[in-house]
Structure 1
Amino acid sequence: MKIVHVSTTDYGGAYKAAARISGSLQRCGEESSIMIRTKRYQDTAGSEVFHNGYQRLFSKIKNGFNLLLSRGEVISDYFGTDITREQMVKEADVIVLHWVNSFISYRVVERLTKLGKPIIWVMHDMWLLTGGCHVDQYCGGYEHLCGKCPLIGSRKKKDLSYRNFIRKEKMLQGSKIRLVCPSRWLSGCAAHSEITKGQSICRIPNPIDINLYKPLEKMEDIRDKYHISADKKVILYGAVNATSDQNKGYQHLLNALKLLDGGNYVLVVYGNSEETKGIEKYIPMILAGYIQDEQTLIELYNLADVFVAPSLQENYPNSVLEASACGTPVTAFQIGGMPDIVLHNRSGYLAPLGDAGRLAEGIKLCAQNSREMGACARKHVEETNSYERIGKSYQELILDMMEQA
């Protein structure tokens, strides 16, 4: 089968998950490729849809209109690129949509459904089932009808979130698009949303290459590389939009670190070091900077005794999956898709949402029992997220769709 995945960019968490899903299908013998609006990196998987500068310029203009129609976290996609005429789409037996904001519009989705091809939409966040936000910050308005959106400070019933909500209902009405949710949490959200509850929804976890992300030997060499003594427990944290996005839970992490005996730990931070100023007051810190290659990232996961992910609302975070695959226990809040990846008190620790004290307890527990809990984390990923297992799940879904067409 020829399967084409559609993604706005070739970077970011949603793209990484999309590329892995495509890779899992390739591993199972399928011809799977990725269509991208704009390529940033030459070595990433995916073919750019635009063939000349005029197309890129026109896309930027349309995206500009979308931004004018959006407000803050509430994103509108009224203008987009008509990919129905692209050769990759014409030749495809199956179309898989991923994170497509600022790429294809509501109308283009409707045109895709008229091609008569099976369409899967992999939901990497809440955008499809809400009035435009990617995480609803526990608003819950999507369960009935968005309006008076707190994220944009609106008091109007028929505001932007309402208009987006109604347009999405129209877009999906009567379609046979299959929705795939990586987590049980997002599956439940989709089942309760007025936009998506009429669609067929299934849960397939995101895959990871367990032959690449795995426990490494000679850990003393990696510790020497970062000048960390054997008696220190290593906490790993990824600072991506840590201070600019409240959903990342940075303040809760800071409060938890204050409760630890800083002399026993070293905090290793990758990502934007500017967003972690102040932490060094409570715990020794090593800044690893932005990580460009996977092997260095895998080394850091293996270096850590515990990986901490303090997000307040998250679907199925790649970093938590990667750390677990490398045999590193994870401490996080018990939210979103975390319980699908982290087995509480077995492969990691899940603290009640917002409880910095329990988050600190989890960090200590995982660091003290890193070897045993890490082995459990690795085993769980092997049994749940391998390319072979997830690729087969997608194959079975596609065959079922074809039989019902």
Structure 2
Amino acid sequence: MKVTLINTADAGGGAPAACMRLLKALELKQVDVNMQVQEKKTDEPRVKNIGDDFLTRLKIRFNFLYERLPFIWFKAKEKSLRFAFSTANIGSDIANQPDIKSADILHLHWTNGGYLSIKNIKELIETGKPIVWTLHDMWAFTGGCHYAGECDHFINECGNCWMLRDAGDKDISFKGWMRKNDMLSAAKNITFITCSHWLADVAKNSSLLKEFRIEAIPNPIDIEIYSPKEVLTARAKWGINPQSKIILFGAANILDRRKGITYLVDALNDLKNNYQETEWVEIVIFGKNKSFDVSSLPFKVHALDIITSQNDLAELYSMADVFVSSAIEDNLPNTIMEALACGTPVVAFNTGGIPDMVEHKENGYLAEFKSATDFAAGIHYVLTTDKKGELAVSARDKVLNTFTNEIVAAQYIAVYQSILTV
């Protein structure tokens, strides 16, 4: 059985990280697996890109700009939505790439950013090969948005999209929905995998996917890399006071609309103003930050920018007393799973796929959705509870029992075997 994973890149975000982790998990189970990407950023030998010559690199850049700039200039309703919608109207034909042609199963992941157009995905479907498509967001069954917010137009057909400045019955979201409807009409053997039960439920209610097989399988994680590290050693390395209570927050882009940093700011102010025992609290933040003023936070802040080393991330999670995720829309955030794997309790909103990982007052705290007050209460609970040791053990156990390479790879292999017999 030869499987080819397909993702826009092999590093640089949640979906690339999840896809690479799956590659490693399948490799450990002796699956013949490779990954086909638009842009290769690692030295992993099983990852192949569409080419590295000047003309190919030029085409990749053109495709990205051709898809993004018209939307940014003429369609996006506001600045925060510039990357919230993908038209997928341009891409690269990869049907004749060696690892595509030789594969028994094509396994799609996140293919936006100018990699695969809807037409290109249809070309892969028309090869007749069995296809597994792991959904890292809602894009596959919407007219173009990655997360729909409160909109439910995808239940019938898209149009009048709230993200567009020229929304209407026949806007680009409607046209995108129609193109995907045409694309999926050619699908004879395709299975959709969602990383969370929340996304599975949403997908099953969508007009585009409701007739297809949909399974929920989480992303895997390397429990050797992401494991509890020695706290004092880590704090000494990163220059953190060993006596402080550390709140850790991180994201690929901390100003991403979905990450809800405004709720975190409000919650931290609530914590400072309404709770005692906060004089030793400090904040550690990692991730891309173009304009957020960390000095606006009410506690001492250590801003670490982007962290690329997994070992460094594991140290940061391990030295923290609590990891916080103020996301208001998310599937199965890698950061939460990573924190739990390192034995660090998590405070997050009760939304999306987060309840698949965080169990209220067992390994963290699930705050009432968009309630900064309850979020602050959750942080205070984790920082002051006399059950800290139990929370840490439960956090690690949740990962060991649900998200290991062994467990997740076995679930995917069972799906592969089932569709090869169709």
Task: Tell me if both proteins adopt one fold, taking TM over 0.5 as the criterion.
Answer: yes
Q: SS of the residue aligned with 1:302?
A: helix
Q: What is aligned with 2:411?
A: 393
* RMSD (Å) for aligned C-alpha atoms: 1.8
Q: Specify the SS of the correspondent of 1:151.
A: coil
1:268 aligns with 2:280: no
Give 1:196 shift: 1.3
Structure 2 SS opposite 1:399: helix
State the one-letter code of the partner of 1:193.
Answer: S
Write out aligned runs for 1:237-316 (5 A): 237-243=249-255, 245-261=256-272, 262-272=278-288, 275-279=291-295, 281-316=297-332
Q: In the alignment, does 2:238 pair up with 1:226?
A: yes
Corresponding residue SS for 1:315: coil
Give the structure 1 partner of residue 28 of structure 2.
Answer: 27
Give the residue type in structure 1 aligned to 2:420: M
Match of 2:130 in 1: 118
Superposition pairs of residues 2-401 of structure 1, within 5 angstroms? 2-10=2-10, 11-42=12-43, 46-67=47-68, 70=71, 71-72=75-76, 73-101=84-112, 102-175=114-187, 176-216=189-229, 218-243=230-255, 245-261=256-272, 262-272=278-288, 275-279=291-295, 281-368=297-384, 369-401=387-419
Between the aligned partners of 2:309 and 2:65, the Cα distance in structure 1 is 32
CA distance in 1, matches of 2:298, 2:343: 27
Residues 259-302 of structure 1: CA deviation (Å, up to 9, x unaligned): 22441311111123554425555111112232121111100000
1:7-41 CA-to-partner distances (Å, cap 9, x unmatched) read 11222110000111111111111011111101234
Q: Which runs of 5+ in 2 are unaligned?
A: 77-83, 273-277
Q: Give the letter aligned to residue 387 of structure 1.
A: N
State how far apart, in whole Å, the 2-side matches of 1:276 and 1:378 are. Answer: 32
Q: CA deviation at 1:211?
A: 1.6
Percent identical among aligned pairs is 32
- How big is the shift at 1:54? 2.2
**In structure 1, distance between residues paired with 2:172 and 2:179:** 11
Distance 2:333 2:148 in 1: 17
**Given the superposition, is the C-alpha separation of residues 25 and 43 from structure 1 closer, same or farther in structure 2, using an over 3 Å criterion?**
closer
Kept in 1: contact 2:13–2:252 (CA 8 A): no
- Scaled by the length of structure 2, the TM-score of the pair is 0.91
Once the two structures are TM-superposed, the CA of residue 112 in structure 1 deviates from its matched residue by: 1.4
The residue that corresponds to 2:80 in the other structure is none
Whole-Å separation in 1 of the counterparts to 2:195 and 2:13 = 17
Cα deviation for residue 188 of structure 1 reads 0.8
SS at match of 1:378: helix
**Contact 2:253–2:289 (CA under 8 A) maintained in structure 1:** no
Displacement of 1:364: 1.3
Opposite residue 157 of structure 2, the aligned amino acid is L
Check 1:166–1:228 CA distance in 2 against 1; reply closer, same or farther (3 A cut): same
Shift of 1:61: 3.3
Going from structure 1 to structure 2, the CA distance change for 1:281 and 1:155 (only over 3 Å counts) comes to: closer
1:3 is matched by which residue type in structure 2? V
Q: Which runs of 5+ in 1 are unaligned?
A: none
Worse-matched range after superposition: 172-181 or 257-266:
257-266
Q: Is the 1:204–1:393 Cα contact (8 Å) retained in structure 2?
A: yes
Q: Is the 8 A contact 2:349 2:367 kept in 1?
A: yes
| Contact 1:74 1:161 survives alignment (8 Å) | no
SS in 2 for 1:179: strand
